[in-house]
Structure 1
Amino acid sequence: MYDALSTLTPATLDRATLWLGRGGLRPTRQRQTLAALLIGDGGHRHVTAESLFAATREAGEKVSLATVYNTLKAFCDAGLLHEVSVDGARSYFDTRMDDHPHFFWEDSAELTDAPSEGLQITGLPRAPEGTEVSRVDVVIRIRRKS
């Protein structure tokens, strides 16, 4: 993922606190830690709850896996992350908030940003009565040629 130990600095924790504030979330210690690991260096990430949990352990922080799941959900609900489901059992959390497609690398189970030039989405079905389309996720499953 990245070097978790060098991510938890005063500067990255400050950036995390500001990010949490944009979502209207109280900056608890655990939220600050998880936010710093996600966005502390300003880079974009695609993480699973398990990979973020591993990063907290690597950084020497004590956060339960259940707390990581609950916090990621809170970050999504606050509009700070997008959840991208690649199948019924696996979700990734994306720090990049603009609309963009993804590649899902089947051989490594990695999610990466895909280029959006040339992508056209046309002919969406009409949303059911009383609803509206909130967003469209495009996940392109790829694998290396044998």
Structure 2
Amino acid sequence: MDAFANRPLSPDLPERHSVHDMLVGAGLRPTRQRLALGELLFRGADRHVTAERLFDEAVAAHLSVSLATVYNTLHQFTDAGLLREIAVDGARVYFDTNVKDHHHFLVEDDGELHDIPGSNVTVANLPTPPKGLRIDRVDVVVRLRREEG
């Protein structure tokens, strides 16, 4: 089931009730902090954020949340299917508001992620998973560097 099936298009999302409905639809209690962070996350176009970046946005918006609360909320949203977690290396984890099948370009110079439509990448010859396990998804991250001069 697509977590965004009943969600208005992102540019129309700043209304509180839309985030409220999205949280309730995902089985999450719409607490004040979840609503406030959801409004920051889901307003405008799909985006990729780190917990630190969302925390900075929350502070700039005068929200009273801790970094731990931001991390917890991002993981709760991910577990509920509202976000997709993208681990690009051991130290950097992004949360993507686009949960549809797709991959990413990572600009190494600044850590920026850009979507690649899932249909533009073909992954062949995947190994058979161990008994009792299935492949859930394959994340392709194509690393880029800016050309010099």
1:72–1:123: structure 2 CA closer, same or farther, 3 Å change rule?
A: same
Matches within 5 A, 1:1-80: 11-41=14-44, 43-80=45-82
For 1:123 and 1:133, locate their aligned partners in 2 and report how far apart those are by CA, in whole Å: 13
User: What secondary structure sits across from 1:128 in the alignment?
Assistant: coil
Hey, what's the Cα distance between the residues in 2 that align with 1:30 and 1:117?
36
Distance 1:33 1:69 in 2: 14
Q: What displacement does 1:121 show?
A: 1.0
> Could you tell which deviates more after superposition, 51-60 or 117-126?
117-126
Q: Is the 8 A contact 1:81 1:95 kept in 2?
A: yes
**1:104 aligned partner:** 106
Report the counterpart of residue 4 of structure 2 in structure 1. Answer: none
Could you tell me how far 1:89 is from its partner in structure 2? 1.1
Letter in 1 for 2:24: G
Q: Is the CA contact (8 Å cut-off) linking 1:13 and 1:40 kept in structure 2? A: no
Which amino acid is 1:128 matched to? P
- In structure 1, the partner of 2:93 is 91
CA–CA distance in 1 between the matches of 2:113 and 2:120?
A: 20
Contact 1:45 1:95 in 2 (8 A): yes
**How far 1:104 sits from its partner (Å)?**
0.6
TM-score by length of 1: 0.88
Identity between Structure 1 and Structure 2 (%): 51
Distance 2:141 2:18 in 1: 29
2:122 maps to 1:120: yes
Distance 2:100 2:26 in 1: 16
Contact 1:100 1:114 in 2 (8 A): yes
Which residue of structure 2 lines up, in the alignment, with residue 82 of structure 1? 84
Asked if 1 retains the 8 angstrom alpha-carbon contact of 2:14 and 2:39, the reply is no
Unaligned runs of 5+ in 2: 1-12
- Using the TM superposition, give the Cα deviation of residue 99 of structure 1 relative to its aligned residue in structure 2, in angstroms: 0.7
- Give the letter aligned to residue 38 of structure 1: L
Q: How many matched pairs?
A: 136
- Compute the RMSD of aligned alpha carbons: 1.5
Offset at 1:115? Answer: 4.2
> Given that residues 15 and 40 in structure 1 are in contact (C-alpha distance below 8 angstroms), is that contact kept between their aligned partners in structure 2?
no
